[in-house]
Amino acid sequence: MTQRVLVTAGAGGIGLAIAKAFAATGARVHIADVNAEAVAAITAENSTISGSAADISTADDLDVLFRNIADHLGGLDVLVNNAGIAGATVPVADYPVDTWNAVLGVNLTGTFLVTQRAIPLLKESDAGSIIVMSSLAGRFGYPNRVAYSTTKWGLVGFTKTLALELGEAGITANSIHPGAVAGPRIESVLAGRAESNGTTLEAETATALDNQSVRTFIDPDDIAQLAVFLAGPHARTISGQMFPIDGDSKHA
C-alpha cells in the first residue's frame, strides 16, 4: 500500500525531515506550512511531495488544505501533527496573555482542528495512524516556557484520548517527545535562556548537554525514522504511547 501522509509544519526542521523520510519509502506526502515560499520550494524539488500554505488554526486555511489533500492524495493514511510555536521565554508572572493565547491557539487548538478534519479520512484507511509531536517539555516542567510546556503536556492527553476513541477503527495514535534537536530552533531557545539567566550561549549549551546521558543534540532524521516506524506495518498494535527521543534527558 502506498501511504498517503499529511505533515503539518512540514516545510522545515523536524517536519521536513519527516516528510522526506516518508517520501523515501514511496509514500505520497502533503505538507502544510505557514511559510508559502518554503512550501513552493520544497514541492518544486520533490515530485512525491505536494503542499499547501496554511495556518492550521484558521478555518479557511483548513478548508483549502483538505481540498488540496483530496486533489493530491485522494485520501489519508497518516497524519503527523508537527505544527507548533515556542512562545516567550519569561517567568509565569510576566508571561504575556496574548502570547499565551497564540501558543495555545496553534499547539492545541490547531492540532485539534486539523485532527478533527482528518479523522473521517483516516477511518477510510486500512491502516490509519496519527503521530503527535510533543516534546521533552511534555514530560517535565519547563521554567520560563509555561505556555509551551502546558501545550506539550496537553498533547499527551489528546493523543491518549485519540488512541482510546479510534482504536476500534484500527487507527493508532502515539506521541513523540524530542529533546534538544540540532538546528536553528534550539540555538534560538538557548539564546533566550542565556538572556533570561544572564549567562552565555556556550554556557547554556553545555548545561543542556550535561542534562543528557547521551551528550549530543538529536538528529531530526532520527525523529523522522521513528515516525515512519510508528506509522508502519510493525507498529499496528502500538498506540497511546509516549516515545522520548532525547538522549535520556533528566529534565527540560
Select the more confidently predicted residue: 177 or 186.
177
pLDDT at 25: 97
Do 218 and 14 touch, CB atoms closer than 8 A?
no
Q: Is the pTM of this model over 0.85?
A: yes
Q: At what angle do helices 220-230 and 13-24 cross, to 10 degrees?
A: 50
pLDDT digits (tens, 9 = 90+) for 54-69: 999 999 999 999 999 9
* Percent with pLDDT over 90 in the chain: 79
Is the pLDDT at 249 greater than 80, yes or no?
A: no
Nearby residues of 200 by Cβ (< 8 Å), 6 or more positions away: 194
The whole-chain average pLDDT of the chain stands at 94
Give the C-alpha distances (Å, rounded to integers) separating 17 from 64, 193, 230: 24, 26, 15
Share of the chain above pLDDT 70, in %: 99
Reply yes or no on whether the pLDDT at 45 is more than 90. Answer: yes
Q: Is the pLDDT of residue 252 over 70?
A: no
Confidence of residue 30 (pLDDT cuts 50, 70, 90): very high
* Structure confidence at residue 173 (pLDDT): 98
- The CA angle 101-172-50, to the nearest 5 degrees, is 70
Residue spans of beta strands (DSSP E) within 97-235: 129-133, 172-178
Q: Taking Cα atoms as reference points, which of 147, 62, 58, 160 lies closest to residue 104?
A: 147
Q: Which amino acid is at 82?
A: N
Instruction: Fill in the amino acid letter for 229.
Output: F
80-108 pLDDT per residue, tens: 999 999 999 899 999 999 999 999 999 99
Cell numbers describing residue 8: 503539518
Q: Active-site residues: which are they?
A: 148
DSSP 92: G
Can you list the domains of the chain with their CATH numbers? 4-179+218-245 (3.40.50.720)
CA 11 to chain CA centroid, Å, is 12
26 φ/ψ angles, rounded to the nearest 5 degrees: 100, 0
Using DSSP's 3-state secondary structure scheme, residue 179 falls into coil
Residue 69 amino acid letter: I
147-167 pLDDT per residue, tens: 999 999 999 999 999 999 999
pLDDT in tens, 187-220: 887 888 798 789 998 888 888 787 777 778 889 9
Determine the average pLDDT of the residues in 13-39: 97
In terms of DSSP bridges, do strands 78-81 and 129-133 run parallel, antiparallel, or are they unpaired? parallel
Residue 83 buriedness (CB in 10 A; 0-12 / 13-18 / 19+): buried
Which pLDDT belongs to residue 182?
Answer: 83
pLDDT at 129 over 90: yes
Residue pointed to by grid coordinates 543534540: 217
Q: How many residues does the chain have?
A: 252
Mean of the pLDDT values across residues 113-124?
Answer: 98
